[in-house]
Structure 1
Amino acid sequence: MKKNGILNRELSYLIASMGHGDILSIVDSGFPISEDVFCVDLSLIAGKPKIVEIIIPLLEELEIEKVLIAEEIKMISPKYHQKLLSIFPKNVQIEYIPHEKFKDRVRESKGVVRTGEQTSYSSVILVGGVTYHGEKEEGL
């Protein structure tokens, strides 16, 4: 039995399968998800779990280099937008794109995590990073 970290089998598998540049989307409860994209449905009830509640433990296990957010969030859900920004490390690039383009990018995901979130334009796309940089010669 796994003792710590993310316990959900499908989500743990999805995180372990992520590579550099792979896309993992964390979406709200009403977001359209293509049937040909692997989906981990964590939605329980309206509003639970929230996207932020999923992202925080994800960041403990997944290296990301970029976050994509629908640009509409700035006007429609500004408080939520600020909360989202506060949870990402400072070295992670934040990119805003129109919601229609955002939906297209989600279709390119290695996987999608559906939450119970019900905040407008709250979905995010995480782009996998790497945990190493530059040359490493140990063990040669």
Structure 2
Amino acid sequence: MRTSGLIHAELISALVGLRHTDTFAVSDSGLPVPAGVPVIDLGISYGFPGFVPVVELVLAEVTVEAAWGSADVAAANPQAADLLTNRLAAELIDHEEFKRRIGRCRFVVRTGEATPYANVLFRAGVPWLP
């Protein structure tokens, strides 16, 4: 049994199954996910769990080499924008293009986040050993 970090069995299994260049997303509660893309739904109620804490837990478990978010986040959601631009160095792209890319994800982790554009698309990296 795990003693720290993520304890959601389905999420841990999905993260362990990632390979180099696979993409996955962490989303707010309203992101439309195309049919066929698995969704790991963590949302319990609007606002819980929040986007930022889930992203932080996920990043503690997986190596990421790139991130993308919607350009609309800058004006609509300062907290998510700070995470995306300052902490993740995410490339901000057109929201319609962001949604198209979601269709190619291995999976989406849906949070209970109830603020707009709190979404990030990640590309898995490799934890090369020295």
Report if aligned partners of 1:68, 1:96 keep a CA contact under 8 Å in 2: yes
1:103 maps to what in 2?
Answer: 99
1:84-116 deviations in whole A, cap 9, x for unaligned? 44543xxxx521110101001011110100111
- Using a 3 Å threshold, how does the CA distance of structure 1 residues 95 and 83 change in structure 2: closer, same or farther? closer
2:73 maps to what in 1?
Answer: 73
Shift, 1:122, TM fit: 1.1
Runs of 5+ unmatched residues, structure 2: none
| 3-state SS of 1:66 partner | strand
Shift, 1:78, TM fit: 2.6
2:125 maps to what in 1?
Answer: 129
Q: How far apart, CA to CA, are the structure 2 residues paired with 1:49 and 1:85?
A: 21
In the superposition, the TM-score normalised over structure 2's length comes to 0.91
Q: How far apart, CA to CA, are the structure 1 residues paired with 2:79 and 2:30?
A: 20
Indicate the structure (1 or 2) with the bigger Cα radius of gyration: 1
- Residue type of the alignment partner of 2:120: V
Tell me the number of residue pairs that the alignment of Structure 1 and Structure 2 aligns: 130
Runs of 5+ unmatched residues, structure 1: none
In the superposition, the TM-score normalised over structure 1's length comes to 0.85
| 3-state SS of 1:61 partner | coil
Shift, 1:36, TM fit: 0.6
- Using a 3 Å threshold, how does the CA distance of structure 1 residues 32 and 58 change in structure 2: closer, same or farther? same
Which consecutive aligned stretches of 4+ in structure 1 deviate over 2 angstroms post-superposition?
1-5, 83-88
Shift, 1:19, TM fit: 1.0
Could you say what the CA RMSD is over the residues aligned between the two structures, in angstroms?
1.7
Report if aligned partners of 1:29, 1:43 keep a CA contact under 8 Å in 2: yes
Q: How do 1:50-69 and structure 2 match up within 5 A?
A: 50-69=50-69
- Residue type of the alignment partner of 2:114: Q
Report if aligned partners of 1:23, 1:110 keep a CA contact under 8 Å in 2: yes
1:7 maps to what in 2?
Answer: 7
Report if aligned partners of 1:52, 1:84 keep a CA contact under 8 Å in 2: no
Taking every aligned residue pair, what percent have the same amino acid on both sides? Answer: 30
Report if aligned partners of 2:84, 2:90 keep a CA contact under 8 Å in 1: no
2:110 maps to what in 1?
Answer: 114
The alignment status of 1:25 with 2:37, answered yes or no, reads no
